[in-house]
Amino acid sequence: MRKLHPVAIAVAIAACTSAFANADSCQRPYVEINKLQGATAESPVVGQTVETRGLVLATLYADSKTPQLLLQSLQPDLNDQTAEAILVTDSVLAQKTAPGTILHLRGTVREINGMTALTNTDNSFAATCGKTTAPEPVPVKLPRQTNDSWERLEGMWLSFPQPLIVNDTYTLARFGEVLVADKRLRVATEIEQPGKTASQFEAAQQLSELMLDDGSQIQNPDPVPFVADGLAANRTLRVGDTLRGVQGFLLQTKQGYRLLVSQMPTHDATNPRPSAPPAKTQQELRIASFNVLNFFTGEGKNPFPTKRGASSADELTRQQAKMVAALAAMDADVIGLLEVQNNGFEKGGALQTLVKALNQQVGSDMYQAVLPKEKPGTDDIMVAMIYRSAAVKPVGQAAVKLDGPFSKGSRPPLAQSFVHTTSGQTVTVGINHFKSKGSCPKEPSADSDQQDGQGCWNGARVAAATALNQWLVTNPTGVSTDYQVIMGDFNAYRKEQPIQTLEQAGWQHLANATEVHSSFVFKGRSGTLDHALASKALHAKLQRFAHWSINADEPEVLDYNMEHKTPEQQQTWYAPTPYRSSDHDPLYMDFKF
């Protein structure tokens, strides 16, 4: 049986006797709520003192110090552009008046964060004028039409008969919020060319989304809402899952419109956690890329807290356990790593610590690290590479490019050639991490956000793509081979210029262009920042390519961190499994010669 939300229970209960019983007010004239709302974004009577009457639809934030009421029209008009409910900010009334009460009020009309509200209510005019049952919620369907604003439904009780898809859980555990839509929403430049086309695509997607709110102002709610039986390491709410039976009250806030749910919807795990990647054959070569999310050991400095990553030894133990579980399960012969602490290649450094832990996980010393002669730049993080010594043998030299666009911003790329033991073929592998879209330049420049969907520092990423291609043409490892692959976090989506630059230079993207891939979720949009591109000869040997969706779709709080969690949550939300071992999904590819 579906568990009812406290607000819904309140709506269903017959009204109790109000503390306000000024019967004379029930005989006074009043202005219908739909007239107070009007047909525009702002009430036509803002600032005016009015008397109105309506049904108490719900008590909002009943668990807070400032509960509020929603009052609904008694006589709805025929204009579907006027909302039939209004917010009442009187917390005294909210505490003493039950849903189902017909309430007569006098107050001043204001716009609070864009929502029409009755404020400064005069309780000498307040009166209960009867009781009634709540109306049925108004059925609504996503996406909205282009010119259809949420304004016309402000404050009303809505229901969504269609299944809704989870698109973001970033604030699920902190504030009890989930972003939903009628479909999975994509980063515009993953699908469309930057500029006007991408802008139009994103504008259309905004008509599909709606934020669900648990209706509580309590931070870090326990149990976490929207997850049957509560969130746990083995009970998750993933992006791509489905919520059914969504009902609630539509509010406008500083963050935009949101639906305070009146009952907890039913959760269907329509995007279940994936198992380990399929086993490769003995003849195949598996290459992978994994963003290890700031794996910092603090070696050589005051260990904790480090600049990034784990803030204590306990957190590092938890982080390491999840990471090596994921790396071991991928069963790759060559793995490019990103966001490894740049603290050397000696014992105790982040890279060697990870290799040691991985070998302990798999039960042998099969993995070794690629060790370039140069320190890979001055950034706090670096790219790195490890390999399974029984499957491949490094040849030539480990090469790092430190100059040009890689001297600052984009991390220096690392390249290493390997001989595949089974086939005898030689493959050059490059791991890369281009400059991110954040921390925009303070002064306007070519690297500022051009408002075309590519974010800041796009020029720097294009320069990095150009320089990367020019560098690899020179065979920096000292080995010439037709089989080459570059991979990593390019901080650019599929249709953006850095990836297009590489493709135009002859690199073949390994993701099927007709399939939608995703490795990262940001602000309710799924897209691919993590790519792999190969030379034409190597592309012809591709057997499979995939992103292993163990991270981006998972709630952030299932990671190794211990902040903002009770001792019990630190245990129940954590498991040494691959899920939420990072914020990016790893990718892997199999080649057969």
Burial class (CB in 10 A: 0-12, 13-18, 19+), 97: buried
Backbone CA torsion sign across 30, 31, 34, 36:
negative
6-131 and 150-268: same fold? yes
Dihedrals φ, ψ of 315, to 5°? -65, -40
Quote the pLDDT of residue 23: 66
Give the distance between the most distant pair of CA atoms in the chain: 96
Burial per residue of 407-425, b for 16 or more beta-carbon CB atoms within 10 angstroms, e otherwise? eebbbbbbbbbbbbeebeb
One digit per residue, pLDDT tens: the chain, 593 residues? 333 343 443 443 333 334 455 667 899 999 999 999 999 999 999 999 999 999 999 999 998 899 999 999 998 998 999 999 999 999 999 999 999 999 999 999 999 999 999 999 998 889 999 998 878 999 999 999 998 999 999 999 999 999 999 999 999 999 999 999 999 999 999 999 999 999 999 999 999 999 999 999 999 999 999 998 899 999 999 999 999 999 999 999 999 999 999 999 999 999 999 999 999 999 999 999 999 999 999 776 667 888 899 999 999 999 999 999 999 999 999 999 999 999 999 988 999 999 999 999 999 989 999 999 999 999 999 999 999 999 999 999 999 999 999 999 999 999 999 999 999 999 999 999 999 999 899 899 989 999 999 999 999 999 999 999 999 999 999 999 999 999 999 999 999 999 999 999 999 999 998 888 899 999 999 999 999 999 999 999 999 999 999 999 999 999 999 998 999 999 999 999 999 999 999 999 999 99
Q: Which two tokens stand for residue 344?
A: 């050397």
Contact 259, 213 (CB under 8 A): yes
Question: Where exactly are the structural domains of the chain?
Answer: 6-131, 150-268, 284-440+450-592
CA-angle at 51, arms to 50 and 52, nearest 5°? 120
Q: What share of the chain is helix, strand, coil (3-state, %, to 5)?
A: 20, 30, 50
Q: Beta strand pairing status for 334-341 and 381-388?
A: antiparallel
Element housing 261 (H / E) = strand 256-263
Distance CA 128, CA 104 (A): 6
Contact 268, 236 (CB under 8 A): no
Amino acid at 138: V
Q: Which CATH architecture has domain 150-268?
A: Beta Barrel (2.40)
Contact 172, 243 (CB under 8 A): no
Quote the pLDDT of residue 4: 36
What DSSP character marks residue 406? G
Q: Is 490 helix (H, G, I), strand (E, B) or coil?
A: coil
Among 593, 590, 342, 336, residue whose Cα is nearest residue 486: 336
Q: What is the DSSP string of 67-126?
A: -EEEEEESS--S-TTS-SEEEE--HHHHHH--TTEEEEEEEEEEEETTEEEEES--TTT-
Amino acid at 72: Q
Dihedrals φ, ψ of 340, to 5°? -85, 135
Q: Is 139 helix (H, G, I), strand (E, B) or coil?
A: strand
Q: Is 190 helix (H, G, I), strand (E, B) or coil?
A: helix
Cα 406 → chain centroid: 29
Quote the pLDDT of residue 324: 98
Question: Other CB atoms closer than 10 Å to residue 137's CB: what's the count?
Answer: 18
CATH tag for 284-440+450-592 (out of 3.30.160.40, 3.40.50.620, 1.10.3720.10, 3.60.10.10):
3.60.10.10
Among 428, 429, 488, 430, residue whose Cα is nearest residue 461: 488
Among 234, 250, 6, 60, residue whose Cα is nearest residue 138: 250
Beta strand spans in 455-541 (E): 484-489, 508-509, 520-522, 525-527, 530-534
Quote the pLDDT of residue 22: 67
Q: What is the DSSP string of 347-377?
A: TTSHHHHHHHHHHHHHTSS-EEE---SS---
Q: CB-hemisphere CA count at 13 Å for 278?
A: 9
Quote the pLDDT of residue 16: 36
Contact 533, 503 (CB under 8 A): yes
Among 49, 57, 58, 52, residue whose Cα is nearest residue 35: 52
Q: Which two tokens stand for residue 92?
A: 């005294």
- Superfamily of domain 6-131 in CATH is Nucleic acid-binding proteins (2.40.50.140)
According to the 3-state scheme, what is the secondary structure of 28-64? Answer: CCCCCHHHHHCCCCCCCCCCCEEEEEEEEEEEECCCC
